[in-house]
Chains A and B, each alone.
Chain A
Amino acid sequence: MNERWLKLLRTGALAVAVIGLLLVVLSPAISEPLSPGTLWWIEPVAYVGAGIFMIGAIVTLTAIRLESRRKAADRDTRSWSQVTQDYFDTFAHDMGRPLRRILGKQREVRALLNETGEPTPRMVAELLDEIEQQAPNFRLMIENVRVLVNLEDQNAKPAVEPVDAAAIIRNISDRYRPIARDRGLDLIWWSEPGEFGLVYGDASALDHVVTNLVDNATKFANEHIEVRLTRNDAHFLVRVWDDGNGIAESHLAHIFDRGWTPELSARSEKQSSGLGLYIASSLSLRCGGQLVVESQHRNGGDSKDHHTMFTLSLPLDNRPVAAQ
């Protein structure tokens, strides 16, 4: 039973108990018109009143106990989540330290090699590129686990703040354009209208969902990736489109399942954790929106229409009605 129903039950039971008590107290006054002068009805009215009072009181006490148990459980869950989050942040920071050192060293070596003006040996260049390209993967992996911990907390609520959605999409495009370029892909984005304005929602969640979608697109696109930001009267939409080979219809039903990857159905080695789209979908729902996918699979033919398009839809204003 949820919090709202428990509160209703407690209020209702308290009202019943009060009615029972009133029947007991007012039994002489009630019995007088029923049997003038004899007071015969006093006892039945008082007994019925006492019975109603007892039932009301028992239900009220039970509801209060259930409510307090629930609050204690919530406190436990919250503190568990906070402790986990704290541990994870420390872990992520400490994990990041060696990676920052490796990344920094790689950039220094690259700069020194560039200064010499000599051509860089192919294997060295590939190694340096590989280190640089793994940095965004690491960033996303750490973020995915942080969000996963947060999603486990049933009481966690999305932030509601003024968000420059176009700036977030622009930043993601800037982050992934070099990666896309290295993979021979062209990543473009745009917003309609051009001056998109502010929306009210969770900036981190928006950033995280779209980052997962764009990261996914860079893995499956053949040549082009498009990210488009639009709005209607109540929602804003982010569409991430790629011209990859599409998703088979039998896979579409599982695409947002936790841990599912295309390799699972092919019984081959997993190339990813299968968490990104699950997290993106769960986070979208938590923020009052939804994430849907539409895809045209190549099916081994020459169809030029093959593509995949994820559409994220979130409320333009997620503030409580009173605050709007």
Chain B
Amino acid sequence: MSSKSIGGGQKILVVDDEHMSDLMRSVLRRLETDGFRPIVIAPQGQHVSGDDYETQALFALETERPAAVLLDVRFGEYDTDRFKGLSILKKIVDRDSKMPVLMFTQYAQGPYRDTAVNASLNVSASVDFIDKLASPEEVVLRLRRLIGKAPATIKIGSLFELDAENAAVYAINGGRRDLIREIQGMKLEILSELAAASYRSEGELVPFSRLERFSEGEDSRASLRVRIRELKVSLGRAVSRDFGATELIINVRNRGYRLVHPDD
């Protein structure tokens, strides 16, 4: 998947007193690489407290209208700021209960997470917790899922584009988008199901039980196999490629199918 297309320029509000640290810099860099626009809260002054972060974060929430918030739990060295992030979280949820918030914290599990879940949130809040030691890729992936479902257009490697809204698949040939007319109906639905699973999680398999509705006749697996072969042939023809058994759409040990993003 083309990484720049993932974020689509969406703003991410970053509220963390360690925003200048190497660890945060690697996360910010990853956000930018994936096409997000991080808005970093950085109060100025000699004695910056958790309250300063809170004030600026809530102001930026109104003015910047971010797609999500990346929020630390512990701010500064003052005892009063030990769990300031939980109080900021509560205020964010009170103002906008649908705002996705990813708590980026040392306290991703355990009693403080439970406290936050039980006391600070309401049912509709879209809040998740991730450990400070998580890789930047994991942080961005989690943010992406918090923000929402698969976008209307999903890139499949740099060779194809699935436009779910207009029910169309395009081949990308040298920057040109060519509609692949023969992929329609069930073939399009199979590709959509596989592409959505792959967008949600690279390792997600679509088991046969979820694909059986696309098959016919007594031997549903054989029928499905035929449809998937036809689908791969159609996709391959559009980019002058021949996708083998271990490319693009693969049968994983008779458990189901998985989409693998093709190389350029």
Q: Does A85 contact B (CB under 8 A)?
A: yes
B255 and A175 contacting across the interface, CB-CB below 8 Å: no
B210 at the interface (CB under 8 A from A): yes
Name the segment of B45-53, B108-116, B160-168, B172-180 touching the other chain. B108-116
Instruction: Give the chain B neighbours of A207 by CB distance below 8 A.
Output: 109
Is there a chain B Cβ closer than 8 Å to A177's Cβ? Answer: yes
Residues in B whose Cβ lies below 8 Å from that of A108: 22, 25-26
Q: What B residues does A188 contact at CB under 8 A?
A: 203-205, 252, 255, 258
Cross-chain contact of B21 among A104, A175, A190, A224 (Cβ < 8 A): A104
* Chain A residues near B29 (CB-CB < 8 A): 111
Of A20-28, A94-102, A254-262, A272-280, which stretch is located at the interface?
A94-102
In the docked arrangement, what's the CA distance between A73 and B83, Å? 31
Pick the residue among A132, A159, A175 that contacts B114 (CB under 8 A).
Answer: A159
* Contact A101 to B117, CB < 8 A, known contacts A89-B112, A132-B135, A189-B203: no
Are the C-beta atoms of B138 and A175 separated by less than 8 Å? yes
With an 8 A cutoff between CB atoms, is A226 at the interface? yes
Chain B interface: which of A33-41, A63-71, A138-146, A286-294?
A: A138-146
Instruction: Return the contact of B137 from the options A92, A159, A170, A178 (Cβ within 8 A).
Output: A178
Contact B112–A103 (Cβ < 8 Å): no
Q: Does chain A have a CB within 8 A of B141?
A: yes
Q: A208 contacts which chain B residues (CB < 8 A)?
A: 109
Taking a contact as CB atoms under 8 Å apart, the answer to whether B135 and A101 are in contact is no
Q: Does A187 contact B (CB under 8 A)?
A: yes
Q: How far is the CB of B192 from chain A (nearest CB, A)?
A: 13
Give the residue name and chain of the A residue nearest to B142 (CB): A171
**What string of 1s and 0s marks CB contacts (under 8 Å) between A183-219 and chain B?**
0000111101110000000001001100000000000
A173 in contact with B25 given A89-B112, A143-B109, A190-B256 (CB within 8 Å): no
Kindly state whether residue A6 has any CB partner on chain B within 8 Å: no
Cβ of B149 within 8 Å of any chain A Cβ, yes or no, is no
- Bound Cα distance A103, B139 (Å): 15
Decide: A189 near B114, CB < 8 A? Known: A89-B107, A101-B22, A208-B109. no
B138 touches A107 (CB 8 A): no
Could you say which residues of chain B place their CB within 8 Å of the CB of A85? Answer: 110-111
B127: interface (CB < 8 Å): no
Complex CA–CA separation, A188 to B256 (angstroms):
11
Q: Are B255 and A138 in contact (CB under 8 A)?
A: no
Are B201 and A173 within 8 A (Cβ)? Answer: yes
Q: Mark B238-261, 1 if CB is under 8 A from A, else 0.
A: 000000000000001101101000
Inter-subunit contact A96/B111 (CB<8 Å): no
Given known A-B contacts A143-B109, A174-B141, A208-B109, A189 and B74 have beta carbons under 8 A apart? no
Q: Using known A-B contacts A139-B131, A170-B200, A204-B114, determine if residue A189 contacts B205 with beta carbons closer than 8 Å.
A: yes
- Asked if B110 and A190 sit within 8 Å, CB to CB, the answer is no
0 or 1 for each of A138-178: is its CB under 8 Å from B? (1 = yes): 11000100100000000000010100000100110111011
Whole-angstrom distance between the alpha carbons of A240 and B182 in the complex? Answer: 39
What residues of A have a CB within 8 angstroms of the CB of B106 in the complex? 92-93, 96
B134 within 8 A of A: yes
- B201–A139 contact, CB under 8 A? no
Using Cβ atoms and an 8 Å threshold, which residues of chain A touch B24? 104
Which of B23, B29, B137 has the most CB atoms of chain A within a 10 A radius of its CB?
B23
Residues of B within 8 A of A92 (CB): 106
Partner of B23, one of A107, A143, A146: A107
**Given A96-B132, A190-B255, A204-B113: A104 in contact with B25 (beta carbons within 8 A):** yes
Q: Report chain A residues within 8 Å CB of B200.
A: 170
Is A7 an interface residue, CB under 8 A from the partner?
no
Q: Which of A81-121 contact B (CB under 8 A)?
A: 85, 89, 92-93, 96, 99-101, 103-105, 107-108, 111
Closest Cβ–Cβ distance, residue A46 to chain B (whole Å): 58
Option from B113, B117, B255 in Cβ contact (under 8 Å) with A226? B255
For A48, what are the chain B residues with a Cβ–Cβ distance below 8 Å?
none
Give chain B residues whose Cβ lies under 8 Å from the Cβ of A189.
201, 203-205
Asked if A146 meets B136 with Cβ closer than 8 Å, knowing A108-B25, A170-B201, the reply is no
Q: Is the CB of B133 within 8 A of A99?
A: yes
Q: Is A135 an interface residue (CB 8 A)?
A: yes
A111 contacts B26, C-beta separation under 8 Å:
yes
Which residues of chain B from 1 to 39 have any CB-CB distance to chain A below 8 Å in the complex?
21-26, 29
The contact string, 1 if C-beta is below 8 Å from chain A, for chain B 95-135, is 00000000000110111111001100000000000011111
Flag whether B44 is at the interface (Cβ < 8 A): no
A and B contact pairs by CB, cutoff 8 A, 24 listed = A89-B110, A99-B133, A101-B21, A103-B133, A104-B21, A104-B22, A104-B25, A108-B22, A139-B131, A161-B117, A167-B145, A170-B201, A174-B141, A174-B203, A175-B138, A177-B203, A187-B203, A189-B201, A190-B206, A192-B210, A194-B206, A204-B114, A207-B109, A226-B255
Given A89-B112, A104-B25, A173-B204, output 13 extra A-B contacts at Cβ < 8 Å: A85-B110, A89-B107, A100-B23, A100-B133, A101-B22, A101-B23, A135-B133, A170-B200, A174-B141, A177-B203, A189-B203, A190-B256, A204-B113
In the A-B complex, list the 3 residue pairs whose CB atoms are closest, starting with the nearest. Answer: A104-B22, A104-B23, A107-B26
